Amino acid sequence: MAVKQIGFKLVMNDGENKKTYQIALDEKKSENFMNFGIGDKVDCSVIGIPGYEVKITGGSDIAGFPMKKGIHQERAGVMVGEGRDRKRRTYAGERTHKNTSQINAKIIKKGDVPIEEILEKISPKKEK
């Protein structure tokens, strides 16, 4: 029985200030990230972050299997290791699809407005 995924998390890493930002995307915004592969560049203006561009570096599917470059289907078992230490590992494919749970990305182009201000408008933090 397949589990229907409604949206996913986008985890963006900013290498300059060493911070990571998580954004929960709904189903409509998630469609803008479908069928992109590891290494592809995506314009973030379609999800409400104008001027920013990210490069997809990885992710995982709903079962927790990590994405791996070079796998061209949704999920596959791959023999990894050398000699007697070879083991079968399951990986998700390199392209995003309906069962993708999380996408990891690196910010490669910044906009005029700091990302903290944009994210505060998109999803304000809850007070404890």
pLDDT digits (tens, 9 = 90+) for 20-32: 999 888 888 888 8
In a domain, 107, yes or no: yes
| Residue 33 belongs to some domain of the structure | yes
pLDDT for res 126: 61
Which domain, by its residues, includes 65? 8-122
The tokens for 17 are 């200030």
Residue 85 lies in a domain: yes
Q: What is the model's pTM?
A: 0.80
Each residue of 78-127: pLDDT tens digit? Answer: 777 787 888 888 888 888 888 888 999 999 998 888 888 888 777 666 65
Q: Are 58 and 66 in contact (CB under 8 A)?
A: yes
Q: Is residue 1 part of a domain?
A: no
Number of domains in the chain: 1
